[in-house]
Amino acid sequence: MTDQQTAAGTLSQQTLDELREIIARYPQPRSALLPMLHLVQSVEGYVTPAGIEACAELLDLTAAEVAAVSTFYTMYKRRPVGDYHVGVCTNTLCAVMGGDLIFERLKEHLDVGNDETTEDGKVTLEHIECNAACDFAPVMTVNWEFMDNMTPSSATDLVDRLLAGDEVTSTRGPRVCTWKEAERVIAGFPDDLADEGPAAGPASLVGLQIARERGWTAPDGNGKDA
């Protein structure tokens, strides 16, 4: 049998070759599972049964072992995701700053519930755990790119632009690509957009600014100021 006729199912030869390429990056093959699952999502849109079987076969694992990993981490999806995964942080600080209100407004605006996709398949909405960007609360993400200091109004405007096919740029990063394109990057296949857009916002740079104004420097390896 060819690779395509085995447990890999619908995965193409190119995808199988790229899965093997990922495995080759690691001294222990099973360490490659996380980026392999992201690659499956970049092709299938989510972690499909065929993707689970392919990863298991290539890593000499059971399908149950691969499925256990894919269901543990929330970034792996078990049903199709839209072109744009819109996440709204509803952890404590973002919630207090308006995240809960934003999430409720978007559910009403898009006519979807949590972890549901619009009928046209373009936007999937989900409340997400802390994204370590509390200084920009309330925070949203689009395909894991930051959207800072959001309001219900700016949030609805954002999703309307996504639905219309307009180009959207991250607050601290590049222009937003599709879900599948983003998943391919996370799998370790760069899109050459890493240096596009600002890498940090004003709130993140306050400490650096104060240090420069006061002449503070980091200690060297001997505990002395550099």
User: Residue ranges per domain, the chain?
Assistant: 3-72, 84-186
Q: What are 166-186's pLDDT values in tens digits?
A: 999 999 888 999 999 999 999
For the beta carbon of residue 8, count every other beta carbon within 10 angstroms.
Answer: 21
d(CA 225, CA 50): 56
Assess whether the region 3-72 and the region 84-186 belong to the same CATH fold: no
Q: What are 42-84's pLDDT values in tens digits?
A: 999 999 999 999 999 999 999 999 999 999 999 999 999 999 9
Pair of tokens at residue 126: 């989900």
Q: How many residues does the chain have?
A: 226
* pTM of structure: 0.84
CATH of domain 84-186: 3.40.30.10
Q: Are 23 and 40 in contact (CB under 8 A)?
A: no
Give the right CATH number for 3-72 from 1.10.10, 3.20.20, 2.40.40, 1.20.1340.
1.10.10
d(CA 218, CA 209): 14
